[in-house]
Structure 1
Amino acid sequence: MKITAEALRQRIGQFFFPAVFINDTEENIQKTERLIREHNIGGLTFFHSRASAATNYESKKKVVFNDDSYEKIKALIVRYQKAASTPLLISIDAEWGLAMRIEKTPQYPYAITLGALPENKSDLVFEVGKQIGLDLKAAGIQYNLSPLADINNNPNNPVIGYRSFGANKEKVADFAVEYLKGMSEVGILGCLKHFPGHGNTNVDSHLGLPVLKETLEELLENELYPFIKGIENNVDSIMIGHLAVPSLNDGKVTSATLSKGIIQDLLRDKLGYDGLVISDALNMHSVSKLYETKGQLEWEAFNAGNDILCFAENVPEGIEAIYKNASPDRIEESFNRIMKAKEKAGILSGNTAASGELNFEKTSQLNLEIAQNTITAIINNSGSEVAFEAHKNNKLAKLSLYKNTENTFFKTLNSELKSPEFAFENLEVSDISLIKKELENFELVLISLFVPKAKPANNFEIDNEVLELLSELLQTKKCIIFVFGNPYALPLIPNLKNALELIQVYQDFEEFQKTAGIQFLDKITLKGNLPVSIEIQ
């Protein structure tokens, strides 16, 4: 059957998933509506705001928080679906829930925290996938660009870190599959990323091009393992990372997103994957600056084997370039994959309405159960007995770093271990020399370190003065340290090996603070396992 040029262009439009922003101007919203109407685009990928899009890290634009972002996204989705003649597949990055992009929505633990769960608690990862799926449905979103199948085997990785389930390939594979199954149970499409594996890189691909030096054999042994497991379990889609693997690309340092050798030869032919392939965001600097002619990047990404062009910035030009260069068969292939995904998401009949409500209580119960099974003892010397002894002799003090003393962790401990409390909040309002002086007469200091940031840039925003204070206390006092945050921050602390007890708590959620306090007071054996390998000083 011969298809008209216009009909073919309409099909090609389905490959495009431009970025849209929850907090945007009416002018830009109308521009997107026109794009949907005129070019029959296949879907949209939502971000919080233009300032929050990852490539704006270096422009230092301030992200302005907005309490009604959730209501806004719901209304925008309805508006955009109304403009579409083919129902749109709405996507978002919700790795730890809608909270990754939207304020005042349920937040679940980071993947690194879930990675601390014992293997026999993988049902909790399934539950996280399921709850996140239900939250997406409540907003009118059908497609979560998550989870990561990347293996966390490089501590200097600036962009994966806390977003990966850990360093063990079997656990990463099992937990990623559980998360996908949880979403699938409630009808949400998932996505494994960033093929062929972004774990062992030390460049942020939002800003530059990471290069993997491994051979195919090495990749099959490690990086590719979770993706292979995902393929065996019929994963809906796989996202191609912006990273170069010269060994799979005739020695060329080309982004995987633009490499037939990686998408067609490896993923499709060798690994036998016939599901949806989506590019990583095409505005990321590792690829966005490669071509001067508008539309050429979109064509190159499609030609390499991507079905969905995520964050495509040149829609009309991209459609034309694909129309001119692609074979009708190849267009048909990608079009059919996208339609199949839309059918699975249940939207082709035109039913794109949101369903259900956000359930913060259910999230809290789930987070509590995860806390009870993830908190990890890294150094364990019966710290709680020593603390009770010091408390009896008035030799116990508590020190909170980066939160005031009114935190839930201290409040929980105070039911049995009330003692003098000190806090360092930031260099503007807190006096470290005064804190040192105040602590002189105490033998044991129970320290809660609330790591300021999850990303490793600038030492996770931990001030040098705080590291010096910790170093000094570790050399002169008995110290019990609870770290609420990314475990990759631990190697920064000098003399940490001197700690009487070191407990890794991963999150600062109320449920985690409360559980850490209860487990300490009740001398409960901790069940968590550190999911990454870390050398402490």
Structure 2
Amino acid sequence: MKSLPNYTEAKNTLSTAEKIGQFFMPAAFINDTEEEIHALEDLIRNYGIGGICFFHSRASAATNFEGKKEVLRNEQSFDTLKSLIKRYQSASKYPLFIAIDAEWGLAMRVENTPQYPYAITLGAFTGKEELIYEVGKKIAQDCLAAGIHWNLSPVVDINNNPNNPVIGYRSFGDDREQVTQKALAYIKGTESVGILTSIKHFPGHGDTSVDSHLGIPVIDKSKKELLENELYPFQKIISEGVDAVMVGHLSVPALANGSDTPASISREICTDFLRGELHFKGVVISDALNMHAVSKIYPVPGELEWLAFNAGNDILCFAEHVKEGIETIAINSTAKQLEETFERVWKLKVKAMGNPFWKGFGELSDSSKLNKEIATESITVYHGTETDIKSFRKKDFCTLTLKRSQENALKEDILSFLEEAKQETKQEKNILLLVTPPKVKPANQFGFFQEEIDFINAMLEEKKVVLYYFGNPYSLNLFDVKKSVATVLVYQDFTEFQDVATEHFLGKIKAHGKLPVSLT
């Protein structure tokens, strides 16, 4: 990797245009065509951008959030990622920041890489924060193995809205203390091997029913209410020290003098409140600027980039109009703005590039042992008791597994399976029911067809059912689980979690987990 001059040298060496270029972090896609790769290399060479943020593919990017385009698997994505990082670094005059969203591991963006449990699963146990520290550390080691400096996580939103379409399972829960302590453990684990972090989505995306990828959520609460809840984790973590804060595309009038301007482009929120009142001295990074909450409102190239910068964002993530953005910022900004932003960005870059752990981590982590420990701590009896399960176990029972073998299974195949299952269990009185929701996100009833929901509810009504549920607990709202003999939340469908569920059903282990959110 090319050497990086220190801040003083860079301050006196880089031109104004080069300094502004350092504020831009456009998207890079692992599964781009060669033509698209060349286009990004040219962007890096011609405009001196400061960094890139990796996504799986253009079909999986933020504005395609609900899967309107087919996302193709690439079994060699990790090798492709490493190769692209080298290519893009070679094209840059100065070393690039390489960032990625890896909240639960590189697997969030990259096939065949280690996946760790979702934040909601980590929220299901009290104490044992050393396990969350290890999650942060192992994910950071995987970032090192790829050549990534910056994991844009953790999420510190308090998910206190069961209908939240975009946070949900990405949050540690709905309790401010739990969210704060678990996020701190994750951050410390990440920092232990020199990888940067960023808490998000300031000032708090938890209590929304609108997805900011697609529209503008409005948080209509008083400043006092926000300080007592949504802002609490941000305040505490900022006081402990954190590299960066990512600002979301949320309208929060109480923090913006009554304005409904999204936080990401509000100077009242990014500068006056975050820097002024909360005393944050680090780097402020925007949420993806291609997200429809803001990109549809400001279609003129360069306008949104300027507004985000002028609001107080140091790094413009997923900026789509680099040339025009640099030109507009150069015309409109003050010398003081430019120098203060450049100093923050460059000093963070020096910190990242000087990471002593770059030598020593070449292999991806092994997730199995840690995932097993987390599965054991998080498994939760949501309804009924372990005594109920023990009594059930002594009876004759039938085991039925409802899990899609293919993510995009045809409805007619599902209906055929349900009819067969109905006939096979017709004479059975006791059912051990193992259910994995098709999707972790709430859109379209978590991927369930209504016929599947009706089938499960009919079984709960008519049979003695012990339910083991391997998915997002919010999706339990679709079912009459209070009619079960017992319902056990396992949270994930990893092999390790399946093994722990088996051990629990057989009475070999006790469930110590606690539901980290409230269900309606």
Report the TM-score, using the length of structure 1 for normalisation: 0.91
Residue 156 of structure 1 aligns with an amino acid whose one-letter code is N
Residue by residue over 1:292-351, the C-alpha shift from the partner in whole angstroms, topping out at 9 and shown as x without a partner, is 4311111110000000000001111111111111111111111111111112112599x9
Match of 1:121 among 118, 125, 128: 128
Work out whether residues 18 and 311 of structure 1, in 8 Å CA contact, stay in contact via their aligned partners in 2. Answer: yes
Q: Which amino acid aligns with 1:383?
A: D
1:24 aligns with 2:29: no
1:438 is matched with 424
For residues 382-417 of structure 1, give each alpha carbon's deviation from its aligned partner in whole angstroms, at most 9, with x where no partner exists: 233223321xxxx3101111257xxxxxxxxxxxxx
> Given the alignment, which residue of 387, 392, 399 partners 2:392?
387
| Structure 1: unaligned runs, 5 residues or longer | 405-423
* Match status 1:492 vs 2:497: no
In structure 1, how many angstroms separate the alpha carbons of the residues matched to 2:359 and 2:324? Answer: 31
Mapped partners of 1:322, 1:95: distance in 2: 31
State yes or no: 1:448 paired with 2:434: yes
2:75 alignment partner, SS class = coil
SS in 2 for 1:400: strand
Structure 1 residue 515 corresponds to structure 2 residue 515: no
Q: Which amino acid aligns with 1:93?
A: D
TM-score norm. by structure 2 comes to 0.94
Question: What residue number does 1:398 align with?
Answer: 399
Q: Give the Cα separation in 1 of the matches to 2:303 and 2:360.
A: 36
In structure 2, the partner of 1:110 is 118
Corresponding residue to 2:469 among 467, 483, 508: 483
Conservation of the 8 A alpha-carbon contact between 1:372 and 1:515: yes
* 1:59 Cα deviation after fit: 6.9
* Matching residue within 118, 132, 141 for 2:139: 132
Compared with structure 1, are the counterparts of its residues 403 and 319 closer, same or farther at alpha carbon in structure 2 (3 Å cutoff)?
Answer: closer
What SS does structure 1 have at the residue aligned with 2:509? coil
Q: Which one-letter code corresponds to 2:123 in the other structure? A: G
Match of 2:375 in 1: 371
Does structure 2 conserve the Cα–Cα contact (< 8 Å) formed by 1:283 and 1:312? yes
Moved over 3 A (4+): 3-6, 351-355, 424-427
Which letter does structure 2 place at the counterpart of 1:320?
E
Partner deviation per Cα, 1:97-116 (whole Å, 9 max, x = no partner) = 00000000000000000000
1:67 maps to 75
Partner-residue secondary structure (3-state), 1:179: helix
Corresponding position: 1:357 with 2:363: yes
Q: 1:58 & 1:158 partners in 2: Cα distance? A: 10
Residues 331-387 of structure 1: CA distance to partner in whole angstroms, max 9, x if unpaired? 1111111111112112599x9789421023xx1100000001000001133233223
Paired residue type of 1:215:
S
**Counterpart-to-counterpart distance in 1, 2:13 and 2:184:** 41
1:78 and 1:353 in contact (8 A); partners too? no
- Whether 1:201 aligns to 2:201 is no
- Identify the residue that residue 236 of structure 2 maps to in structure 1: 229
**CA shift at 1:425, angstroms?**
9.9
CA–CA distance in 2 between the matches of 1:292 and 1:449?
A: 44
Query: Which of the residues 282, 291, 294 maps onto 1:284?
Result: 291
Q: Which residue is equivalent to 2:451?
A: 465
Structure 2, gaps ≥5 residues long: 1-7
Residue pairs, 1:297-446, within 5 angstroms: 297-347=304-354, 355-360=361-366, 363-381=367-385, 382-390=387-395, 395-403=396-404, 427-428=412-413, 430-446=416-432
Match 2:186 to one of 179, 186, 192: 179
Please give the alpha-carbon distance, in whole angstroms, between the structure 2 residues aligned to 1:52 and 1:59: 7
Letter in 2 for 1:26: E
**What SS is found at the alignment partner of 1:479?**
strand
What is the distance in 2 between the residues matched to 1:427 and 1:181? Answer: 49
- Counterpart Cα distance in 2 of 1:83 and 1:354: 25
SS at match of 2:56: strand
Aligned equivalents of 2:485 and 2:411: distance in 1?
26
% identical equivalent positions: 52
Partners in 1 of 2:258 and 2:43 — Cα distance? 39
Query: Does residue 248 of structure 2 align to residue 248 of structure 1?
Result: no
DSSP-derived class of the 2:155 partner = coil
How big is each residue's C-alpha offset from its partner over 1:460-481, in whole Å with a ceiling of 9 and x where there is no partner? 0112112222222222211100
How many residues are aligned here?
A: 506
Whether the aligned pair in 2 keeps the contact of 1:236 and 1:275 (CA below 8 Å) is yes
After superposition, the C-alpha distances for 1:190-223 in whole angstroms (9 at most, x for unaligned) are: 0000000000000010010000001111110000
Matched, 1:191 2:177: no
Q: Distance in 2 between matches of 1:267 and 1:213?
A: 18
What RMSD, in angstroms, separates the aligned Cα atoms of the two structures? 2.0
Deviation, 1:445, is: 0.4
One of 215, 229, 235 as aligned partner of 2:222: 215
Q: Is the 8 A contact 2:245 2:284 kept in 1?
A: yes
Aligned mates of 1:247, 1:223 — CA distance in 2? 13
